[in-house]
């Protein structure tokens, strides 16, 4: 009953080894929440979701499931989904429960970096007095040791071996503008300024078509880059630079400019009707398979990844 009795936001990491420990760390919590008539949303990889459904039996009928492979393909989408969940189900007599597993062994290096930034930002995305629990399972058998070290740093509470405790390594730091790695292949570059958005769209359409994108994926990529270039023209002295290259079966596009995006959560949730700006970055996160944003007073870089599938 640890989460039912919690007065505010709890962000916990569950370290498990095999299905038995995963279920031992999740099933009682889900059943307690269901018994209290509070909402549960589970977003984990498909094998874990199947195991949890089977273990819950009829209680599983009262649990909402989302495919993390789809929702979290780009980790920049996940915070918005959790906020939607709390907006819809928060405020009841018992706190809602989320179970989210955004990191699995097949993640690429770039995806792992963004997942870890996402986990850090989750500590900023909800006020401490928001009554709900988010449990983040980590496969301690399959994941690299440095990933588990990151989990201890990004989660205030840990669940391991059936015991819950505060994480001694927890740090509530805002992710910094660490530079992105240099492209692993030769790039094609262009600069753009006012009145040149058509040229940007044509340039990207040609590159995407040459890479073999379907029409729908090509349109998504061109729209995403158009949004980013528009932001550069609007907020960054009316100019920017673009480069694109192929890497690991994906087409990568990077937009750089002199603007500064101060909000570390920019683009991760749909702005409200009274908020100015932010919709472009939100749309980019919805369209792309991975979005990497780095910003400082010296300028901003947004790198988007689009897989060829």
**pLDDT tens digits, 83-105:** 999 999 998 899 999 999 999 99
The Cβ of residue 69 has, within 10 Å, a number of other Cβ atoms equal to 14
Positive or negative torsion for Cα 195, 201, 203, 206:
negative
Q: Which of 2.40.50.140, 3.30.565.10, 3.30.1360.120, 3.90.870.40 is the CATH number of 188-307?
A: 3.30.565.10
**pLDDT tens digits, 143-195:** 999 999 999 999 999 999 999 999 999 988 888 899 999 999 999 999 999 99
**pLDDT tens digits, 186-245:** 999 999 999 999 999 999 999 999 999 999 999 999 999 999 999 999 999 899 999 999
Cβ contacts of 150 within 8 Å, gap of 6 or more:
116, 119
**pLDDT of 56 over the 60 cut:** yes
> Distance from CA of residue 40 to its chain's centroid?
19
- CA distances from residue 38 to 3, 77, 104, 274, 289 in whole angstroms, order as listed: 11, 24, 28, 30, 32
Alpha-carbon distance 13 to 15, whole Å? 6
Domain with CATH 3.30.565.10 in the chain: 188-307
Residue 278: DSSP 8-state: -
Ramachandran assignment for 56, one of left (phi > 0), alpha (psi -120 to 50 degrees), beta (any other):
alpha
Are 264 and 119 in contact, with CB atoms under 8 Å apart? no
* pLDDT for the residue 122: 97
Q: Tell me the two tokens of residue 289.
A: 């398979």
Mean pLDDT of the region 38-58: 98
Nearest-CA neighbor of 168 among 152, 187, 149?
Answer: 152
CATH number of 9-166: 3.40.50.300
User: Could you give the angle at which helices 215-235 and 197-211 cross, rounded to 10 degrees?
Assistant: 150
Domain with CATH 3.40.50.300 in the chain: 9-166
* pLDDT for the residue 174: 87
* pLDDT for the residue 308: 87
**pLDDT tens digits, 245-303:** 999 899 999 999 999 999 999 999 998 777 666 799 999 999 999 999 999 999 999 99
Residue 3: DSSP 8-state: T
């Amino acid at each position: 009953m640890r989460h039912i009795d919690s007065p505010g936001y709890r962000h916990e990491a569950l370290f498990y080894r095999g299905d038995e420990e995963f279920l031992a760390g999740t099933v009682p919590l889900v059943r307690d929440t269901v018994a209290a008539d509070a909402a549960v949303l589970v977003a984990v990889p498909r094998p874990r979701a199947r195991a949890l459904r089977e273990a819950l039996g009829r209680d599983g009928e009262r649990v909402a499931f989302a495919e993390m492979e789809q929702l979290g393909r780009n980790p920049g989408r996940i915070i918005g989904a959790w906020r939607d969940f709390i907006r819809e189900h928060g405020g009841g007599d018992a706190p809602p429960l989320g179970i989210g597993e955004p990191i699995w062994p097949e993640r690429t290096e770039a995806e792992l970096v963004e997942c870890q930034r996402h986990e850090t930002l989750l500590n900023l995305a909800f006020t401490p007095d928001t009554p709900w629990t988010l449990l983040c399972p980590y496969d301690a058998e399959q994941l690299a040791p440095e990933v588990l070290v990151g989990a201890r740093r990004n989660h205030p509470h840990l669940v391991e071996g059936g015991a819950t405790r505060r994480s001694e390594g927890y740090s509530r730091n805002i992710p910094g503008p660490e530079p992105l790695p240099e492209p692993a292949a030769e790039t094609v570059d262009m600069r753009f300024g006012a009145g040149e958005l058509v040229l940007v769209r044509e340039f990207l359409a040609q590159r995407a078509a040459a890479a073999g994108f379907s029409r729908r994926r090509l349109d998504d990529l061109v729209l995403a880059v158009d949004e980013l270039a528009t932001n550069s023209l609007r907020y960054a002295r009316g100019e920017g630079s673009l480069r694109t290259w192929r890497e690991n079966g994906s087409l990568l596009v990077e937009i750089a400019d002199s603007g500064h995006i101060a909000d570390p959560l920019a683009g991760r949730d749909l702005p409200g009707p009274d908020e100015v700006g932010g919709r472009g970055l939100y749309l980019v996160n919805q369209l792309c398979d991975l979005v990497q944003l780095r910003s400082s007073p010296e300028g901003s870089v947004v790198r988007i990844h689009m897989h060829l599938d």
